[in-house]
Structure 1
Amino acid sequence: MKDSADLRFLLTIRASENLLAAARTLGLTPSAVTQRLQQIERRLDVRLVDRSARRLRFTEEGELLCTRGAVLIEQFDALLDDLHARRGGMVGTLKINAPLGFGRRYVAPAAAHFQELHPEVDIALTLSDEPLTEIADRFDVVVHIGELRLSNLIGYAVAPNARWACASPAFVKRYGMPATPEALAALPCIALPENNEDVTLWHFSKGRTTRSVRVPGRLSCNDGDVIRRWALEGRGVIVRSEWDVADDVARGTLVRLLPAWKLPDANVIALTHQRTGLPMRTTMFMRHLQARFRPVAPWRVR
């Protein structure tokens, strides 16, 4: 391992589905990628990648090298960024991941404004609803909504966000207003698969009383905008984030059900890999993002 370039090369391969994809990213031919990989393996006298599998699969030693190497690269880049920052500027690429709907409505404008304020910083924003464990390593900042399960990531509060059960006025007129959470089990409901949760088991609380209800998820979609539209069309009950349906409830196009019962909050948080040693661009973007939701989150301004 001669220098950080070899580590960066291996990390690019690790982030790719196959050698051909890695070659395209690196701007090399597949044979050149293979040759360089073999040279690194010969120098280390250890096999790093199992190339017999249909997809690239790193050996245990290869995973160890990439995992620890990624930390070293991050620290090295942070050092260079800090040196640049001492000269009064911010440079480099900031890689951000955010959920599809929230990212479109709130993170994308914040990222564009941040880049306008700091033109030497390049922004790479990716919107997706992949499970957190599958995408976190590829980004500097991950915007996450909901409970943060076991993770080694560091969370920073961005904005409060409740979850509401909602349906259209036409749906309520047809089926009636449910009086208890248990009544939802007899109504058409719409499920939103996210964060690897059990999406048809809805949890409610009122004071010290809790209720968990298994609802019939006759319709489901991983796109929150789709299930919101289905609810507006009167197709079922949804549980959706306050940020997404507060305007509909205010306009009367959706009705909040069981307002005396509370669903688990789904607060907005921003995640990074470490608390200290972050590049200046990452720290400043985090502050920029938080400032856009203070003193009151826009979905709570009425």
Structure 2
Amino acid sequence: MNDSTDIRFLLAIRDSGSLVAAARKLGLSPSAVTQRLQQIEKKLDTRLVDRTARGLRFTEEGTLLCRRGAELVQQFDMLFEEVQARRSGLVGTLSIAAPLGFGRRYVAPVVADFQQDNPGVDIVLTLSDQPLTEAADRYDIVVHIGELPASNLVGYAIAPNSRFVCAAPSLLKRFPNPQSPDDLAKLPCIVLRENNEDVSLWQFRKGRAARSVRVPSKLICNDGEVIRRWACEGRGVILRSEWDVADDIAKGNLVRLLPAWKTSDADVIALTHHRVSLPARTKQFMRYLQDRFKPKPPWRT
């Protein structure tokens, strides 16, 4: 193993989870992948992967080789990217994960524009309702909204974002406008299930006063676009990010409730790995993303 190709091959197997999936990723036949793995193990005189009926399990030596090898491959790639960037601009592949709704509306346009401005960069954008729980370590950048759970990732501020309690005017004709958070327990509510949070417990504060309300949730969904539409149809009260409901509030489709009571902010942040030196494409995209939300994010213009 005197170059990076064998390490890249092992990393492809690790990331794919099976020899068959790795074969598809590498454009090889399963038998060719098996043979090459055997050749690497023979060369090192060490078993790297245990193959069982339940799948693959890397041995201690295989795990060490992947972990240390991934660092070496990254350094190797960064060196050549830096040389190439001196002549022809940014190069390489950038993988980004973002929440479904926010990703569609705000991240996707930034990604497309950045790629157009930097044709040497290939970008893979993955949208998910739980971007932090789906192998976040495999992405260069993870866009996250709200409080950051314990993580070894490094956060960069992108844009401020509050959360509002809203309902359609048609619902407020059938139910009284709540005067305190406790009144929400008497109203039909819609909740968004995401990030394994306790989604039906809504928390408020006004000055030194604090309230926690367990709302009755007759409708639950993991897609913010769906619950926003339900709310606009008068089906219930929602607690939703400012970026998602600001337009509907401005148009009168939704009415903000309890404006004197503040809920926890859900600022937009971008997360990267804690590395001494990030690739130039990652750092440049981070700046590009931040600049698109300055001096104020579009939901506050």
TM-score, normalization by structure 1: 0.93
CA distance in 2, matches of 1:232, 1:95: 34
Aligned residue for 1:62? 62
1:194 aligns with 2:194: yes
1:184 aligns with 2:184: yes
Letter of the structure 2 residue corresponding to residue 146 of structure 1: G
Aligned residue for 1:282? 282
CA shift in 2, pair 1:179/1:56, >3 Å: farther
Letter of the structure 2 residue corresponding to residue 66 of structure 1: C
Q: Which runs of 5+ in 1 are unaligned?
A: none
Cα deviation 1:230-257 (Å, max 9, x = unaligned) = 1111111111110000000111101111
Aligned residue for 1:265? 265
State how many pairs are aligned: 301
Cα deviation 1:25-53 (Å, max 9, x = unaligned) = 10111111122222333444444333214
CA distance in 2, matches of 1:94, 1:26: 18
CA shift in 2, pair 1:182/1:113, >3 Å: same
Letter of the structure 1 residue corresponding to residue 257 of structure 2: L
**8 Å Cα contact 2:96-2:125 kept in structure 1:** yes
**8 Å Cα contact 1:78-1:277 kept in structure 2:** no
Letter of the structure 2 residue corresponding to residue 130 of structure 1: Q
Q: Which runs of 5+ in 2 are unaligned?
A: none
CA distance in 2, matches of 1:250, 1:199: 26
**8 Å Cα contact 1:169-1:254 kept in structure 2:** yes
Letter of the structure 1 residue corresponding to residue 234 of structure 2: G
Aligned residue for 2:12? 12
RMSD (Å) for aligned C-alpha atoms:
1.8
CA shift in 2, pair 1:55/1:197, >3 Å: farther
Residue 56 of structure 1 aligns to a residue whose secondary structure is strand
1:97-116 equivalent positions in 2, closer than 5 A: 97-116=97-116
TM-superposed CA distance for 1:178, in Å, is: 1.2
CA distance in 1, matches of 2:74, 2:133: 19
Letter of the structure 2 residue corresponding to residue 49 of structure 1: V
> Percent of counterpart pairs with the same letter?
69
CA distance in 2, matches of 1:55, 1:130: 25
Q: Is 181-190 or 36-45 further displaced after alignment?
A: 36-45
CA distance in 1, matches of 2:224, 2:80: 40
Aligned residue for 2:150? 150
**8 Å Cα contact 1:203-1:212 kept in structure 2:** yes
Aligned residue for 2:205? 205
